[in-house]
Chain A
Amino acid sequence: MTTREITFRDALNEALQEEMGREEGVFIIGQDIYGGPGGYQGAFKVTKGLAKDFRDRLLDTPMIEQTIVGAAVGAAMTGSRPVAEIMFEDFITLAMDLLVNTAAKTHYMTAGQYCVPIVVRAACGAVGVGPQHSQTWTSWFMHIPGLYVVLPSTPYDAKGLLKTAIRDDNPVLFLEHKKLYNVKGRVPEEEYEIPFGEARVLCPGDDVTVVAIGYMAGLATQVAGTLRDQGLSVEVIDPRTLAPLDLETIFQSVRKTHKVVVVAEDCKTAGPTAEIAALVSEACFEYLDAPVGRVGARDAPIAHNVGMSEYILPDAADIHEAVQRVIAW
């Protein structure tokens, strides 16, 4: 496979471009995704350049999050395959009803008469815009039967998973971390998809397992590198999709290392780390040599002030410390 280095943003952009080219029913609906001549091209420029080939498939709406997601549902029920863009994940609360009660329940409620192939893309993560533009919420959505939850951590995964999301017949929440948009990585020239429910082992190891979600996967890989220099072998697993969740890869690793730390940017209380820790405890109790370690944000909104937000959010040092703690147990 020939690869080249592109950004996470461009990887997403390529996936959108290719899927619109592949299937007439795919369109993008959201705020300022085209933005008229010159074009705003999305709050994070993910739809950049798409107007060239697909002007009539970039549907700019007013600020109507409920109707963006709800219209995507209605369009999907009648044969379209819409991608809805929600600028900041914080705003998804407005569309929560349509996502949770309508999108996720329609296939069930109609006994499969209708399906809802929509992708709701939203930017998560804190980059200093204050408490209402910084959230990473995943466990709320893992809690919803009928909804897939996807968080890519590399350009390669971003492109492959977005293509799969668009082709899947179920509603998908696709979370893009703002700090990843400019990150570069190798992406094949050739067409590829990444199946949902397949975790990726970012770095293999024998002494401890670190399950790290989304942006945290990159940080965990850095920490694994530092610890390797200190003679500790850390296996980093990125689940890539929280629903469906690839438990087998996680369990296999835990049965090998006997120690595990779970890391996510969400608040620690009732976050995704709680669910994964519980599942590991249920399935691998006799293999564990230490309590499951958990790293998450402190239970506070994300402050605008840099020092405060750094204090609240988990970072490499927190992961490092948590790994040391389970190793020392």
Chain B
Amino acid sequence: MTISEELMLQMYRYMVLGRLFEQSAEQLTHKGLIPGAFHTGIGEEATHVGACLALTHKDYIIPTHRGHVADIIKGADPGRLMAEILGRATGYCGGRGGSVHIADAASNNLGVQAVLSAAYPVAVGAALTQKRANTGRIVLAMFGDGASLMGTFHEALNLSAIWHLPVVWVCVNNQYAMSTSFAEASAIANVADRACAYNMPGHVVDGNDVMAVYETVREARERALAGGGPTLIECKTYRQGGHSTFDTNPYRPQEELDAWSKRDPITQFEQRLRERGILDEKRITQIADGVRQQVDEAEEFALSSPEPPPEAGVEFVFRSSEVE
């Protein structure tokens, strides 16, 4: 599979967008403008971008609480995304969901499951609909290393395999679940090694290599569409920041942080594209300026959006046939 220059530039741009967008949300949280905490996927951009670019607009996705660029690639508008993070009326869920419940039905984004164990069964069900109706779409379910140790992982991966469902399981192994390191929490070193227990292919990928992630997910998608069933892909990456904006992150060794920041996915990819003559200083500045402007606009849109009326907080509890 060859990746066009155009796609490489798209990958690069989305990674930069993902980073700036989350940095912006992080700052808004520190300014007290975002209720609760915000989780960034800074350092993991290659995984979120590579996996999502391998999809079509019609494919379904269950993203994670990090890597909000996934929503954008799928089709969400950054302004409405930021507005939801701020809890504003113009956000995707009208302020009811917030950053850990972004869902956008128009782009077949099924939304994050913030009770992390729920993502697997929901993905199985969505994939079941695709298979029964023969829609030619797949479901991409993303989850963390910590979430891979939950019971529903076993139930759902097994079921997806015996039913040959068109689902691609992508683990964002950023090495930590809050302060719990995967190395200490898991009996085996690779999440992907569990694939053999479900008789499905398992791949360990460098999650900081956007092209590798893209290619692996792409192949798994094709396999699923051809009736080959699910694949488990583990992207090894690193959460460069704390767990959330609340986390001062004292539990990780400095050497570890340093080693991973040398492997920053954006810097690495930028270097690669420079070497290939696809990027130069001018182009990089151009892209950075464009992205900066896009994020500023999103922020402005969100900040100037109205708060929802408090009484709207009890709307949408039930679907009523009269309302819809």
Interface residues of A (CB under 8 A from B): 27, 59, 61-62, 64, 66-67, 69-80, 82, 97-98, 101-102, 106-115, 145-146, 169-170
Contact = CB atoms under 8 A, between A and B. Distances in A.
A66 B129 contact: no
B123 A110 contact: no
A78 B317 contact: no
A243 to B, nearest CB: 9
A73 B123 CA distance: 9
Interface stretch (B38-46, B150-158, B180-188, B281-289): B150-158
Interface stretch (B91-99, B221-229, B268-276, B295-303): B91-99
Interface stretch (B24-32, B108-116, B194-202): B108-116
Contacts of A62: 155, 158-159
Contacts of B113: 102
A72 B156 CA distance: 12
B168 to A, nearest CB: 15
B129 A67 contact: no
27 contacts: A59-B128, A61-B159, A66-B155, A67-B120, A69-B121, A71-B122, A71-B156, A74-B125, A74-B127, A74-B128, A75-B126, A77-B125, A78-B110, A80-B125, A102-B113, A107-B317, A107-B318, A109-B111, A110-B105, A111-B94, A111-B97, A112-B319, A113-B104, A113-B105, A114-B110, A145-B317, A146-B317
Contacts of B159: 61-62, 64, 67, 71
A74 B122 CA distance: 4
Interface of B: 60, 92-94, 96-97, 101, 103-106, 110-111, 113, 115, 117-118, 120-130, 132-133, 139, 151-152, 155-156, 158-159, 315-319, 321, 323-324
A78 B118 contact: no
Contacts, number: 137
Given A70-B152, A74-B128, A115-B319, A79 B97 contact: no
B163 to A, nearest CB: 8
A19 B123 CA distance: 25
Contact of B121 (A71, A108, A112, A170): A71
B121 A66 contact: yes
Nearest to A79: B129
Given A75-B129, A102-B115, A111 B121 contact: no
A145 to B, nearest CB: 5
A66 B101 contact: no
Given A74-B110, A169-B321, A110 B103 contact: yes
Nearest to B162: A62
A71 B93 contact: no
A284 to B, nearest CB: 25
Given A66-B155, A111-B93, A71 B319 contact: no
Nearest to B100: A109
A146 B317 CA distance: 5
Contact of A114 (B103, B115, B129, B323): B103
B74 to A, nearest CB: 13
Contacts of B105: 110, 113-114
Given A71-B128, A72-B125, A74-B123, A110 B111 contact: yes
Contacts of B115: 97, 101-102
Given A70-B120, A113-B105, A78 B125 contact: yes
A170 B130 CA distance: 21
B130 A101 contact: no
A246 to B, nearest CB: 16
Contacts of B155: 62, 64, 66-67
Given A67-B152, A67-B155, A75-B126, 8 more contacts: A64-B158, A67-B124, A74-B121, A74-B139, A78-B60, A102-B118, A110-B92, A110-B103
